[in-house]
Amino acid sequence: DTLWDLAIAEVEKRENPDEDGKRVEVWEKSILFMGSKNGGKTTIILRCLEREEIPKPTLALEYTFGRRARRHNTPKDVAHFWELGGGTSLLELIRIPITSNNIRSFAVVLVLDLSKPNELWTTMEKLLQVTRNHVNKILTKLEKANPEVATEIKQRMRNNLQRDHPDYELVDPFPIPLMIIGSKYDIFHEFDSEMRKIISKTLRFVSHYYGASLVFTSKSEALLLKARVLINHLAFGCDKSKSVSVDHNKPLFIPAGLDSLSQIGPPPASDSNIGKLRANTPLELWKKVFEKTFPPKSLCDLQDAKDPAQDLQYAEYEVDVMRAQKNQ
């Protein structure tokens, strides 16, 4: 048998009922991890897949996968993990993993480094903007080709919030499932209480506004485990936790749809200051208040990118000799 014959047989076996007459459906999901440079994305992925490797810096876009059986003697579900390296410098690569074929089963995990608040908003805004634009383009095409699927995707994101939730009309859900992870909580925990409060409230607002889950994590096993619960929900459909922690003196843990604007409260600025800020949307207002406390750093991601050709982990003797000759 050729590889194609085996593949056809495998598909037929999945599509046709087994001996008991039950159809066994294999679950396949994809997740794109993106976020702050050196923010700990690789570490989180390795922990989710229970791999004991030492994380290496991610170059451009990397792929790995995890498998898990739901019950004994059933085919294993597959989760595809994509990771975008380089912070915000490689945004155009987002369109490689997210396609019209897998958009129904795609989710995004945004990892933000809590120890660098001055880069936090810019990183988040750029990555989410580019991803959203790309997903919307796919949905627009789908509306013409397959309107039922496009409607189903949009409706599913609205359903994250119960219809009777007071903020149902006030939020603007991200078009595909989104999870925000605040990493390096151990360093963040040493910050001044007021700074922690501003960062926590702002991230709670952004997550709630986009219909996303929010969790703070660090290298501690207990916190990584909490993040893993939510990632496993996206990757394998495991139950997501119903527990909630909104105290800014503790690590936040808020599954999608379990927060509210009344609990979050107004942006942390005095009323006189808020009156002076001009903003067209609530998101813009929070951005201005946040950037008053943490002025954004200019993003020089592209300038400081090291040349991967010089990286020892990619050394190949023959290629390097030819390259040196060419340079000479």
The amino acid sitting at 253 is: F
pLDDT for residue 27: 75
Could you state, in order of their start, the residue ranges of all structural domains in the chain? 24-320
Condensed to tens digits (0 to 9), the pLDDT of residues 234-265 reads 878 777 777 887 787 788 888 888 888 888 88
Residue 233 to residue 116: CA distance in whole angstroms? 28
More reliable by pLDDT, 295 or 299: 295
pLDDT for residue 65: 86
Mean pLDDT of the chain: 81
pLDDT for residue 328: 92
Question: What is the SS3 assignment for 18-81?
Answer: CCCCCCCCCCEEEEEEEECCCCCHHHHHHHHCCCCCCCCCCCCEEEEEEEEECCCCCCEEEEEE
Mean pLDDT over 83-106 rounds to: 83
More reliable by pLDDT, 225 or 276: 225
Condensed to tens digits (0 to 9), the pLDDT of residues 226-239 reads 888 888 888 787 77
Is the model's pLDDT at 299 over the cut of 50?
yes
By the 8 A CB rule, do 254 and 246 touch? yes
Q: Quickly name the fold that domain 24-320 has.
A: Rossmann fold (3.40.50)
pLDDT grade, residue 300 (50/70/90)? low
The packing angle between helices 282-293 and 117-145, to 10°, is 160
pLDDT for residue 270: 64
By the 8 A CB rule, do 173 and 210 touch? yes
